């Protein structure tokens, strides 16, 4: 029975990790955003003019929980064509596999999202409070997705230091991608396309707020699942 209960509880924990959350953008402050520059981004045959950078968003297991501002989150946008939402209009999103969007570049995208964050600080903070550096990371992520990026005069924007897209200079430091390392990430995908943005958590999830069901609720769910499994076993 102990083994059965442990299995049931593990199943509930896994389910909780993949549970949908509600998201909205916190605006230019609270918890803040680091946006810089205006660019023309062409993706999926559409061109939009956007400001690039790091977004401060709020999320929760329900719309009201997101609006309560308990769970603040840093994220980069993976949907240049979509809006970011407002406190009055949060959108629902699920955790998703980044490979479904970036394919073989998924680990490289996770590397980019981790560069400017310091995992030794809790809650996790950015290393450089410079909007222009976060904007460059954002542009690099869109570039990995196959977007064409120019300035407002249609001049190509230089993002990478090399053709292979494995080196990028931010501030005075050049960072090199290490394919032998696996980089952590949390990727949120809107349930209804067009109602919100795909978001890649800055810093790969380490030390940032992420809503989870209450332990009591999880315990009851595990008991119910264990009972169901026991009943099935006794048939």
Residue with tokens 């290393």: 127
Q: What angle do CA 100, 156, 116 make, to 5 degrees?
A: 55
Q: Say how far apart CA 24 and CA 33 lie, in whole Å.
A: 13
DSSP secondary structure string for all residues of 111-156:
HHHHHTEETTSSS-EES---HHHHHHHHHHHHHHTT-EEE-TTSPB
Instruction: Give residue 10's pLDDT band: very low, low, confident or very high (50, 70, 90).
Output: very low
Output the pLDDT for position 205: 65
CA–CA distance, 212 with 205 (Å, rounded to integer)? 13
**pLDDT value at 14 more than 50:** no
pLDDT for 16 equals 40
Distance CA 79, CA 91 (A): 14
More confident residue, 1 or 170: 170
- Of 220, 215, 212, nearest to 60 by C-alpha is 212
**Would you say residue 188 has pLDDT above 80?**
yes
Q: Quick one: pLDDT at residue 33?
A: 86
The Cα–Cα gap between 9 and 95 comes to 20
CB atoms within 10 A of CB 61: 17
Q: Tokens 């990430």 correspond to what residue? A: 185
For range 191-220, the mean pLDDT: 77
CA distance 122 to 101: 29
**For 91-97, what is the mean pLDDT?**
96
Which of 19-23, 68-72, 117-121 bottoms out in mean pLDDT, i.e. has the lowest?
A: 117-121
Q: Which of 221, 8, 211, 234 is nearest to 95 (CA)?
A: 211
Share of the chain above pLDDT 70, in %: 77
pLDDT at 4: 42
- Distances in whole angstroms, Cα of residue 212 to Cα of each of 48, 59, 61, 81, 108: 35, 11, 7, 30, 27
Residue 3's pLDDT is what?
A: 45
pLDDT of 227 higher than 90: no
Q: Which residues contact 11 (CB under 8 A, 6 or more apart)?
A: 222, 225
Q: pLDDT at residue 220 above 50? A: no
pLDDT of residue 29: 72
The model's confidence at residue 83, banded by pLDDT at 50, 70 and 90, is: confident
The predicted-structure confidence for 124-144, as pLDDT tens digits, reads as follows: 666 666 889 999 999 999 999
Gap between the Cα atoms of 192 and 56, Å rounded? 21
Evaluate if residue 107 carries a pLDDT over 70.
yes
């605006």: which residue's tokens? Answer: 27
Asked whether residue 218 carries a pLDDT value surpassing 70, the answer given is no
pLDDT, residue 154, reads 96
**CA dist 12 → 74, 214, 218 (Å):** 26, 12, 7
């Amino acid at each position: 029975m102990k083994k059965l209960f442990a299995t049931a509880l593990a199943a509930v924990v896994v389910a909780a990790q993949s549970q949908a959350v509600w998201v909205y953008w916190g605006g230019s402050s609270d918890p803040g955003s680091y946006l810089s520059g205006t660019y023309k981004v062409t993706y999926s045959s559409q061109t939009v003019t956007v400001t690039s950078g790091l977004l401060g968003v709020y999320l929760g297991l329900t719309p009201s929980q997101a609006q309560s501002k308990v769970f603040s989150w840093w994220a980069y946008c993976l949907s240049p064509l979509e809006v970011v939402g407002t406190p009055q209009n949060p959108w629902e999103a699920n955790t998703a596999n980044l490979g479904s969007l970036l394919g073989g570049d998924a680990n490289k995208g996770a590397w980019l999202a981790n560069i400017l964050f310091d995992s030794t600080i809790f809650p996790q903070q950015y290393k450089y409070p410079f909007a222009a550096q976060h904007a460059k990371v954002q542009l690099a992520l869109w570039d990995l997705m196959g977007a064409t990026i120019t300035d407002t005069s249609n001049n190509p924007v230089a993002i990478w230091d090399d053709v292979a897209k494995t080196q990028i200079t931010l501030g005075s430091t050049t960072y090199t991608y290490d394919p032998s390392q696996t980089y952590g990430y949390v990727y949120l995908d809107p349930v209804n396309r067009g109602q919100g943005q795909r978001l890649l958590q800055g810093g790969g999830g380490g030390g940032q707020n992420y809503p989870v069901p209450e332990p009591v609720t999880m315990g009851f769910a595990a008991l119910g699942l264990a009972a169901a499994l026991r009943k099935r076993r006794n048939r």
